[in-house]
Chains A and B, each alone.
Chain A
Amino acid sequence: MPAPEQYRMIFRHIDEPGYSNDLACYVRNGGYEVLRRAVKRRPEELVDEVKRSGLLGRGGAGFPCGVKWTLLDRRSGKPVYLIVNADESEPGTFKDRYIIHQDPHQLIEGIMITCFANKVERAFIYIRGEFPQGARILEKAIAEARAANFAGPDILGTGYGCEIYVHRGAGAYICGEETGLIESLEGKRPYPRIKPPYYPAVLGLYQCPTIVNNVETLCHVKHIADMGGEAFSKIGTLNNTGTRIYCVSGHVQRPGYYEFALGKITLGQLLYEVCGGPLPGRKFKAVIPGGSSAKVLRFGERFRGKRKVGVEMVEYDWGVEDIPLDFASLATAGSMGGSGGVIVMDDSVSMVEALGNINAFYAHESCGQCTPCREGSLWMKKITARMVHGEARAEDGALLKSVADQIAGRTICAFGEACAWPTQSFVAKFGDEFKAYAQAKKETGAREAPELV
């Protein structure tokens, strides 16, 4: 089956010749028209539209956006804040960056509609420290929008006011975790908070109810307000609505970012047809479908069983190539849609070394607040680094798995799973390679070992 055409909604103008990131260009292309219409409606209607749309959060967890908004504690009488999570740090993910760099006003329009719908008067864009240019672009775009009354004290003459602030992070992956982000925004160490009781919808920024949404999610809100929740829910598949940006990196002919209707394209179509397949003379070996913390899929493995589609139970029998790229299907296959970062590895890759690389990242980024993740991530890194540097033991694979099993599900935040899942899945699916690595290492010699920090 040939791959479907790209459905460019969020990325409609990305890389379009002549399209610039200033306000004039955005307005020329119909920008802020949706906001104009939205502020004439009742805020509750807009929330209902988003609920009807079935939009799932695009940050990684895939939590229903409309539900998140309705969980807000409205009875406390405290102000409600919106935080835009632009701390795009998941390895393999590079979608928000392009929205911010090339189409910042789309994001700002989405933010303003969201703020209006939720009666928010202060929005914070938390952008990762490694995006200095993005921060500058956003500052400029906000100033332009404010000058044109698309943001600020009196938006489009309605009397409704909302300010947007840009806050730069200082270079920590954990700041992408929503409660860690909130702590960081408050000026503290980004230690994620315990939930309960600190759910952002109730006790978020400055202990006030807070919405934390991803950049891509907020851009979708603009399109939902434009076309209506009903129409949006027709895009994609049942319960997995809208479009999704896939960031493909690694060993394919044409890596890059591609936007498709959710669930309408399979992993095989994406990698072979859209991305041009493996490099000459190579074969695909493994793929991580949702950012580096998602569980790895091994080419050649099969997934069989029954799954729920709507109300019916449907049998499925998939190879890796057959998995539709939506949240539910990837979860069925034991991995996750995550942040949409598709990392492809071909047969030139040693899985031990690949895991060593991933473990080095997570050990470096663990915030160190809670014990299992703090000690476990570094221990796993030390094991894989030792293996890579020529002192592998046959039992290291089992030890790695056991350490990872002691982390997942026992930590304050989802970083525990994020650092444990790669190890668990690599060892589960490439266990033989881990066992044989000591011998293989002797044959190839330590000279080829990559330098791991």
Chain B
Amino acid sequence: MIQPATSDLITVTIDGREVSVPKGTNMIEAARRVGVDVPHYCYHSKLSVVGNCRMCLVETGMPAVDPATKAPVIDPATGKQRVNWGPRPAIACATNAMPGLHVRTTSPLVKDCREGVMEFLLVNHPLDCPICDQAGECKLQEQSAGYGRGYSRYIEQKNVKPKRTLLGPRVMLDDERCILCSRCIRFCKEIAKDDVLGFTDRGSYTTLTCYPGRRLEGNYSLNTVDICPVGALTSTDFRFKMRVWFLKQTPSIDAESSAGANTLLWSREGVVYRITPRQNDAVNDTWMADSGRALYKAIRGDGRLDCARVNGAESALDLAVKAAAELLLRGGAAVVGSGRSSVEEQFLTRKLAVALKAKAWLVSRVGEGDRILVSADRNPNVRGALVTGLVDALPSGRLDALGALIDSGSVTSVVSMGEDLAAAGLSAAQLARVSVIYLGTHANATSAAAKVVISTLTVFEKHGTFINQQFRIQRFARAVPGPAGATDDLVALSRLLGAVGRPIATADVGALWTAIASEVPALAMMSYGNIPDTGLQVDGTPWAGLPFAEGPGLHYSPAAPAGKEASRG
């Protein structure tokens, strides 16, 4: 959050503790700052306030003043100004900071309000926690334990509503579990701009449904599952796969585009089960695209390379590195780096290119931006390649110039950092003319044509950093180990560097940063350890003039939007 100017701060008192908050802050957020939990369901910090769950009812009051003299009324017992408490409880989510506002969150009335709302929410709830995917991360469970009465007075029949309604390809709805908080409806309307959800019927029979003839199938549909406070909306992909309390959470970055949404990888015993967004108010708020959540499937996808190969035969890593070095040291080498490599890998790739006196190339991947969190540049880290000096201009989508050099015979060996050279425009004949050294995770035409293949790790299996479209450097961490036979990219690159006569001291990502900080001007003074979980802004002005592909998106507007549309809020 941007630090506000002090003049805009308003002091409120919550449970006797004073806190200064920016103008416009509501009492749920203000209470959070003093460590007070105000339970809520419908309120979401990134959505409009509707105040329909009534769980956040608190008592509010203003300091008493004498109506005639306007002088403060002092309570003789405490010596402090008396507080006039309002006759009715107020919802904290719609109560914004006012000078002198007092809030009570623990009084008997507030306790009674919470118990009442909890009881009401549960009377028509199926209470099928044992078979519900939300169990363990369910606000209804948490808050009924925290604020409910613990017993039921309800002996009537519960309402019957539709079960197992497929709202779209990725989202399943159980209407009986729904507490009608309308978060999903507001998300679709306000963030995804795809207003397909709504309520039909009324009263307690109100039912969440899709607009007739439409489906919840936009690329942001799974965010509704994330923000659903109960088990009403579940992911068809994750449903019934694993209990959430068994899962380990690892912070990561969405590698599908340069937007760089912050994510959490949920894994257990070496298997990733799902990817969800991680809050970063400067990048993705609390959202991410559905497409980025499916990326973990590549870990166990078809064609995963699981050992080093020399001329097609399985090989030990040492022998493969030796064979690669021999090919490269003959001269006429080229290095094809990748916008999907981490900053650290790009740093070492550059060192390799320098060692081989080779030109470094990069392949761009440009698609349509969706104006939210999938940017036009589908490489997550082109800016990393610029910042580390691997390349000094924006890449093109094809390697035709490299092809010409191959045709002319001036390039005889190519190192590819996971890029499919055939897809980038090199013909089979050109690939056959050169010795290809391929470091990558999955098999493709290039790996098939390569003399040396070193299998490496996906973004889920290693540590590193990406620099996103905002020039924000963000870390990702290893959630699961790679397959046996795969080598960390940094290890593979450092071995190659050693084999071509330029050994480096370490392949450890943390230690490598000592070298990065001293050699890369834009990253000076940084270290891997002190990059916060939400990233750090890098000065991108040296590259401000480049014609980047990205259009406006969430929290991003292009630097030089000549003729492009204005950014969204």
Contacts and interface: CB of A to CB of B under 8 A. Distances in A.
Interface residues of A, number: 34
B204 interface: yes
A375 interface: yes
Given A368-B205, A410-B57, A194 B51 contact: yes
Interface string A353-375: 00000000001111111111011
Contacts of B202: 172, 365-368
A172 to B, nearest CB: 7
B94 A194 contact: yes
Contacts of A367: 202-203
Interface stretch (B116-124, B299-307, B541-549): B116-124
A430 B72 CA distance: 46
Interface string A387-416: 000000000000100100111011110000
A412 B94 CA distance: 11
Contact of A370 (B53, B88, B123, B205): B53
B116 A374 contact: no
A364 B204 CA distance: 9
A372 B51 contact: no
A378 B204 contact: yes
B211 interface: no
A383 B203 contact: no
Contact of A374 (B112, B157, B204): B204
Contacts of B94: 194, 196-197
Interface in B104-126: 112-113, 116-117, 119-121, 123-124
A399 B469 CA distance: 59
B124 A375 contact: yes
A51 to B, nearest CB: 22
Contacts of B51: 194, 370, 412
B203 A365 contact: yes
Nearest to B159: A378
Nearest to B50: A194
A63 B414 CA distance: 83
Contacts of B204: 363, 366, 368, 374-375, 377-378
A54 interface: no
Given A194-B49, A194-B51, A378 B203 contact: yes
Interface string A157-201: 000000000000000100000000000000001010010110000
A131 interface: no
Given A172-B202, A363-B203, A366-B202, A376 B120 contact: yes
B120 A406 contact: yes
Given A196-B94, A386-B156, A372 B203 contact: no
A298 interface: no
A26 interface: no
A375 B156 contact: no
A368 B206 contact: yes
A371 B54 contact: yes
Contacts of A376: 120
Nearest to B113: A410
Contacts of A378: 124, 159, 203-204
B182 to A, nearest CB: 8
B272 interface: no
A378 B203 CA distance: 8
Contacts of B113: 406, 410
Interface string B48-69: 0111111101000000000000
A275 B477 CA distance: 82
A97 B93 CA distance: 40
B124 to A, nearest CB: 6
Contacts of A318: none
Contact of B54 (A191, A386, A411): A411
B179 to A, nearest CB: 7
A441 interface: no
Given A367-B202, A371-B179, A372-B54, A379 B123 contact: yes
B156 A382 contact: yes
A378 B160 CA distance: 13
Given A172-B202, A363-B203, A368-B206, A406 B116 contact: yes
B238 interface: no
B180 interface: yes
A407 B204 CA distance: 14
B154 interface: yes
Contacts of B153: 399, 402
Contacts of A369: 50, 52, 180
A372 B206 contact: no
B89 A412 contact: no
Interface string B119-158: 1110110000000000000000000000000000110110
A377 B123 CA distance: 12
A320 to B, nearest CB: 27
Contact of A379 (B54, B57, B154): B154
Nearest to A411: B54
A407 B119 CA distance: 12
Given A368-B203, A406-B119, A374 B180 contact: yes
A189 B199 CA distance: 9
Contacts of B50: 194, 369
B117 A371 contact: yes
B89 A368 contact: no
Contacts of A370: 51-54
Contacts of A410: 54, 57, 88-89, 113, 116-117
A209 B53 CA distance: 27
Contacts of B120: 371-372, 374-376, 379, 406
B167 interface: no
B411 interface: no
B328 interface: no
B353 interface: no
A325 B156 CA distance: 40
A376 B120 CA distance: 7
A451 to B, nearest CB: 18
Interface centre among B50, B54, B94, B203 (most CB of A within 10 A): B203
Contacts of A366: 202-204
Given A363-B204, A368-B202, A375-B120, 9 more contacts: A366-B202, A367-B202, A368-B199, A368-B201, A372-B116, A374-B120, A406-B112, A406-B116, A409-B88
Interface of A: 172, 189, 191, 194, 196-197, 363-372, 374-379, 382-383, 386, 399, 402, 405-407, 409-412
7 contacts: A364-B203, A368-B180, A368-B199, A368-B206, A372-B116, A375-B124, A379-B156
Closest 8 CB pairs of A and B: A406-B116, A375-B120, A368-B206, A382-B156, A378-B204, A366-B203, A194-B51, A368-B203
